[in-house]
Structure 1
Amino acid sequence: MTSGTTETADEVRPFGPDSQFSALFDDPRWALAMIRATVLEAAHPQIGAALADNSTFVAHPWRRLRNTFLSMRRMFDADPAVRAREADRLNRLHARMSGSDPGGRPYDAMDRGTRAWVVATLFESAVTMCRLSGQPLDQERMVRMYAEYRAFLAALDGDAGALPEDLHAFWGYFDRVVADALESTEAARVILYRLFDHLPAPALLDGAPTLWAAGRAVAGPLLGAITVASLPEPYRRRAGLPEMPGAQTLMQGAYLAAGLARFLPAGWLNAESIIEVLSLTPGSDDPRARTVAALHARMKRASALLRLLAPLGSGTDPDQTAPAAPKEGGRSAEEFFRQVLDQTGDGHLDWPDLAAMARELSTRLDLDEPEETRLYDAFAAWWRELQAALDTDGDGRVSAEEYAAAVPSPAGPALIRVAEVVFDATDKDGNGTIDAQEYRTLFRTAFHRDLTTTDGAYGRSAFVGDFLSFMSGRRTSTPYDPLLADA
């Protein structure tokens, strides 16, 4: 088979368990490849601007990882109905993202060329992953994989015309974009130089901040160096990315070590299970939570020992220390602003932050139209209410200082409306109460013992009251914190 030949989607079976994508998805090397692909995406000016304005990858990276994982699984599902539904959801999500970068250049998440570049980075990073780990793809497998990714783009965009038809032409296209279009964007710099160094702990490790900070201090720079070394040399040179001495050897070693997982028994590594476990909290009713709780206790003891051996100084990065315990079940205005309201992590509250909340709730509840639009509209009305009340300098956004100075009063009509819409979206059968299964869909755990329930149901007034107490920052809430505050 020559490099200029490509098989049809039917011949290569691009979706389902027989696809090349499925064969690689549980591969540990895929984590390194995804980081690399994300940097190449973020280096595209349009994508970088959209990420900087709308994405939660800085403040909530683990949540973003989980949602991205589930989306990719659905887009490569064997059932065409599952793929079509997920493509519709992604297209609705992307249609809400447009604007301009700091230089005034417009971006549109529905632009076909930029969407094609996202798919191109995933394919090229998978090929590079195999090469760097000493298991390069032969030509036939590479052609099959490229056909799968073009089929993925076609499922999302209607056709794959924005990507070259054959593999030989793809490499010329990829090199041209790297040489002519990619830039040292803010989003790419954040991923390389901020995200790894300040990565918040996943829910599993949230109770051991000192231990997490110590591990992150070592692993963060190494991940950054490995990622930089793996990027195409023309982009590294153009973006002025410094390469740490020995980084190429380190990168090769990391990919080779990850590639050794192929010798493990089948089924030992499952990406979905790993991500689910990282997302668990000790209070969850998931059967794995008991093991997690025991691990949590061990980590706390190790963290305490580490503090004794190496006390944290006053100059320590604030996010490496345990937050002060909230008073009487509440949190300070600054904590609530940072942990819940500022979803994008840019230090300000504006529409993309509330849109991110609507997006997370829509994802959890798996909403279709028109319920999804109804939820976004409710959050938009709440944003207008917040802006009118808190934007004292008229710059179109709310700073942490403006929020804290205002000492927000109890919820207004717009936030009450948000609570009611969330309740209606969760109450799938429309019987006026949230039953155990509906509750689990939203919170991913069983009814919490602190909630007032009657006959195994959660009524509208109780739900609205709890939601308002949480969203107005008056108190913490065990089920609501993982909903919007967890990383």
Structure 2
Amino acid sequence: MTSDDDLGLFGPDSVTWRVHAESILALGGMRALYLQTLHPRAMAGVAQNSGYRADPWGRLERTAIYVATVVYGTTAQAHRAGEHVRRLHARMRATDPDTGELFRVDEPELLRWVHVTEVDSFLTTARRAGLALTDDEADRYVDEQRRAAELVGLDADQVPRSVAEVNDYYREILPSLRMTREAAEGALFLSAPPLPWGLGYTPARAAWLGLSALVVSLLPPWARKLYGLPGLPTTDLTASLSTRALRLSLRALPRRLVEGPIYRSAMDRAARAAQESSGATQAA
């Protein structure tokens, strides 16, 4: 198979391709960010190294391109993207908010936290939006994502391989999580960022606030509690119903509006591979 036909780290038979084909996963990305702010050292690393306040939309775009490249890019593209992230992280240092000690942002503990919150958020959002996945398929997704963890410098054995292990991880790390000043500022910025192209003075501002509220309602109850939010009995049900409705609305849009070039390139490679396989079968 040539590099032009390479199907990457996952491929069309993976659960990963099914999950990430969902446009609703943009909410999952936001959910992960709200979770990540609750880890004091992780949030200190972001606040002291990231230009998210000066260029929030550029950072969001770069993150989305990275995820798409890892999921749908060729194997070489995915490894180049991971190498780029590792080089960036290797240069970053931050000061611990409690001890004042200097630490590296590529510590395994921090990389593991970011990885787990992203994997959990993508999977949880997709399922609550109505993507039909069995429990075995959900476990397969978590297991497949260990390949993505390796790209940023983690050992595959350092991260969960099932939904149960994700839940175990959260229980273990929960005592270390809390709302800090930097977390509060980060969450507030996520909820009301400066909108581009003058949209801050249009109904888009109210729409973004509504979207942010929906994302927060998708957080696990323990995370909403850390944010000091009330845990109403109907919160989870309402969030799931709203997310399902939004997914249906997105699915009604023309595919060209929600499919990026990396995804379309992957679909083209998969179609060629299927065609070649069919031709080889017929010839035999």
Using the size of structure 1 for normalisation, the TM-score is: 0.47
Q: Distance in 1 between matches of 2:14 and 2:257?
A: 18
Q: Distance in 1 between matches of 2:120 and 2:107?
A: 20
Shift of 1:250: 5.1
Shift of 1:272: 2.6
For residues 116-265 of structure 1, the aligned pairs below 5 Å read: 116-157=112-153, 159-177=155-173, 179-201=174-196, 206=197, 209=198, 212-242=200-230, 248=236, 251-261=239-249, 264=252
Does 1 or 2 have the higher relative contact order (CA < 8 Å, sep 6+)? 2
When residues 54 and 239 of structure 1 are mapped into structure 2, their CA distance, relative to the original with a 3 A threshold, is: same
Contact 1:143 1:167 in 2 (8 A): yes
Q: How many pairs does the alignment contain?
A: 253
Please provide the CA RMSD for this pair.
2.9
Q: Distance in 2 between matches of 1:229 and 1:269?
A: 27
Q: Distance in 2 between matches of 1:99 and 1:226?
A: 31
When residues 65 and 86 of structure 1 are mapped into structure 2, their CA distance, relative to the original with a 3 A threshold, is: same
Using the size of structure 2 for normalisation, the TM-score is: 0.77
When residues 271 and 44 of structure 1 are mapped into structure 2, their CA distance, relative to the original with a 3 A threshold, is: farther
Segments of 5+ residues of structure 2 without an aligned counterpart are 1-7, 262-284
Give the secondary structure class of the aligned counterpart of 1:57: coil
For residues 85-484 of structure 1, the aligned pairs below 5 Å read: 85-103=80-98, 104-157=100-153, 159-177=155-173, 179-201=174-196, 206=197, 209=198, 212-242=200-230, 248=236, 251-261=239-249, 264=252, 267-272=255-260
When residues 243 and 62 of structure 1 are mapped into structure 2, their CA distance, relative to the original with a 3 A threshold, is: farther
2:3 is matched with which residue? none
Contact 1:14 1:147 in 2 (8 A): no
Shift of 1:41: 1.5
Q: Distance in 2 between matches of 1:243 and 1:139?
A: 26
Q: Distance in 2 between matches of 1:254 and 1:191?
A: 25
CA deviations 1:254-311 (Å, max 9, x no partner) are 31122215754883443436xxxxxxxxxxxxxxxxxxxxxxxxxxxxxxxxxxxxxx
Shift of 1:235: 2.4
Shift of 1:145: 0.5
Shift of 1:175: 2.8
Aligned mate of 2:24, from 14, 25, 29: 29
Identity value in percent: 26
Amino acid at match of 1:119: H
1:377 is matched with which residue? none
Structure ID, larger Rg: 1
- Which structure shows the higher helix fraction? 2
CA deviations 1:110-135 (Å, max 9, x no partner) are 11121112111112112221332233
Give the secondary structure class of the aligned counterpart of 1:157: coil
Segments of 5+ residues of structure 1 without an aligned counterpart are 1-12, 274-487
Contact 2:128 2:244 in 1 (8 A): yes
Shift of 1:53: 0.9
CA deviations 1:209-250 (Å, max 9, x no partner) are 2x5423244124323322222211122223423569975565
| 1:76 to 2:64 alignment | no
- Where does structure 1 differ by over 6 angstroms across 4 or more consecutive aligned residues? 243-246
Q: Distance in 2 between matches of 1:172 and 1:236?
A: 18
